Homo-oligomer: A and B are copies of this chain.
Amino acid sequence: MTRIHIDPALVEAMIMEMGTIGAHSGTGVWRTVYSPAWVAANDLFARWSEEAGLSVSRDAVGNVWSKLAGTEGGKSIVSGSHIDTQTPGGRYDGTLGALSALIALRALSEQFGSPKRTMEALSLCEEEGSRFPGANFWGSRAITGAIAPGDAEAMKGYSGETMAEAMLAIGLNPQAIPSAKRDDIDAFIELHIEQGPILEHADLPVAIVDAITGLRHYHVRLTGEQNHAGAFPMDLRRDPMAGFAEIASGVINTAHRLGRPAVTTIGRIAADPNGAAVVPRSVSFTVDARHPDPEKRLQLYALHEGLMREVAERRGLAIEWEIGIEKVPCLSDPGLVTTFREAAAVQGVPTLTMASGAGHDTQQMAKIARTVMIFVRSKDGRSHTPEEFSSIPDIVAGIEVLAAGLHRLAY
């Protein structure tokens, strides 16, 4: 029954120092991929890794790998997360997972010496898409070989520069991207803030994530008849706003009734012509529907589609939709879920097991490795803002679970 000790003072010092790099808006951080702040953050990550006795290497896209070699060799056990942020984000989203892996490996090395299996702490270069909107998961996609030749040259940033230009500006060679591919990773474990309120409402510090949700975006347009708001009686209208309201209530209620972890959101809407005294010709909107269960998600989508068709037909409205983002659920490795749940129990950290409703690098890494995630409680469920916050006791609990699980896998 091995227990790991993680030093809260060290954890807090590292989070606060890393948070000064790209500091913005008080407690915020603005650290887009390949920016000067990003270079400085990775240099710090590398320096701390070396101070911890880890051997540091950087790959073609700038991911930083800090290795604790195992006596028996074989495929690596990797933990980490992304070092880039939203504009601005906070100190925790992504960065906490990279620091936690480094802290866990340092603690394991100090307390237990060399492992049998090789472990690596990973600072992933890019996840947020906050400088290049098409770049999401750039770091993990390079590792899994999912970046096609020419992608870096074709991808444009918000300021007009290409990804290739941004790489060259800091000495990275876009032609070398294929060399970042890895095929020797056994397991990938990502610690991340929850970004939601489930742990807070359950009054628990840490969760083991058994799946990352499947999600589908519908881009829907309802078309009726544009009419004068005064001269057209209600009973003769074909009003797409009335149809939208019924559909919006319906899909939101459907997800609510199905219960957690089903979620459905209508975040985008536009009426045409959008005049106060005009029954609109058309209403366009998005439906974001998510469920981590491979079959229940299809049930959720089918319920939404059935409702949309029924409302449109009954109201004499034309309806058309396109499916935008479509992600299948990413199921965690059941063995890793069990390993980390048991490690948490021995460590004395109470956990729950939950699905992630947000996307993560782990979804990419799952293509080449067994995966699992660890969530740390988020204050008010917030992220992507300078106000995001997780307490040091909760973070320490999360790192203890991470380190205890890694100990079971590697020693």
The chain A residues found within 8 Å of chain B, CB to CB, are 194-198, 201, 213, 215, 217, 219, 227-236, 239, 241-242, 244-246, 248-249, 252, 255-256, 260-271, 274-280, 283, 286, 288, 290, 324-325, 356-359, 381, 383-384
Contacts and interface: CB of A to CB of B under 8 A. Distances in A.
16 contacts: A196-B228, A196-B233, A197-B236, A217-B277, A227-B381, A231-B356, A234-B252, A235-B256, A241-B267, A242-B248, A245-B245, A265-B278, A267-B271, A267-B276, A268-B271, A269-B283
A269 B267 contact: no
Contact of A358 (B196, B198, B231, B236): B231
B277 A267 contact: yes
A196 B197 CA distance: 51
Counting every copy of the chain, the complex holds 2
Given A228-B357, A230-B358, A267-B280, 20 more contacts: A195-B231, A196-B230, A213-B230, A228-B358, A230-B288, A230-B290, A233-B261, A233-B263, A234-B252, A234-B256, A234-B262, A235-B256, A239-B252, A241-B248, A244-B248, A245-B245, A265-B279, A267-B275, A268-B275, A269-B283
Contacts of A381: 227-228, 231-232, 236
Contact of A324 (B194, B244, B260, B276): B276
**Residue of A201, A242, A256 with highest tally of chain B CB at under 10 A:** A242
A379 B290 CA distance: 46
Contacts of A219: 276
A290 B260 contact: no
Given A233-B263, A256-B234, A260-B233, A286 B276 contact: yes
Contacts of A356: 230-231
A229 B274 contact: no
Contact of A194 (B231, B256, B275, B279): B231
Contacts of A262: 234
Nearest to A247: B245
Contact of A263 (B197, B234, B275, B276): B234
Nearest to A195: B231
A260 B237 CA distance: 12
Contact of A383 (B194, B215, B231, B270): B231
A359 B230 contact: yes
A246 B198 CA distance: 26
Contacts of A227: 196, 381
Contacts of A241: 248, 252, 265-267, 269
A195 B270 CA distance: 26
